[in-house]
Amino acid sequence: MKIVVGLGNPGREYERTRHNVGFEVMDRLAAGEDVRFRKSWRVNARIAKTSLGPEQVQLVKPQGYMNRSGEVVAPLIRKLGKRASDLIVIVDDIDLECGRIRIRAKGGAGGHNGLKSMIGCLGGEEFTRIRVGVGPRPDGENLVEHVLSAFTAEERRKVDQGIEQAVEAVIHVIEEGVESGMNRFN
């Protein structure tokens, strides 16, 4: 079983912002598999169960805010008897132009507080991450304001393409492995 986690913030005020691209990827994955997210009674998350290729998969949207994502995911991993290596995390990235994706088998947080929380709570960096570019912050703009802002129409068009590509990447990584995914999508 694989666990695919999209990082984001719960609540209407954060929908369709740069920081919630991970949630948008999860929503598209669930829609494509015709499954619905339900509130988990085990952890503070919304979870959808499905199969992608030969693999049973849990799609997870932590509801504990971006900077505390690890506090939700680590207990879930333990309860399911899984390891961090069974995890694929979808996250926004301001260092990539809008719509570009990048897959990594493991690595650091790169300044991303959601990934810092995941690494801290899991006790290591041994999980796959798929980063979706949301564009750099303009000169002089506060980082928090930038990641919590909406996209322009042109940026939205590009990020929607990136979200679709991230959905394809998740399926590819599950079916063919992370190395094959990196070769195809990076």
**Annotated catalytic residue within 19, 112, 146, 172:** 19
**CA-CA distance, 85 to 128, in Å (whole number)?**
7
Helix-strand-coil percent breakdown of the chain, rounded to 5? 45, 25, 35
19 is catalytic: yes
CA distances for 139 relative to 96, 146, 167, angstroms: 16, 11, 31
How many residues comprise the chain? 186
Sequence-ordered alpha helix ranges (H) in 65-123: 69-79, 113-122
Residue 158's Cβ-side half-sphere holds a number of Cα atoms within 13 Å equal to: 16
**CA-CA distance, 53 to 171, in Å (whole number)?**
8
Active site residue ranges: 19
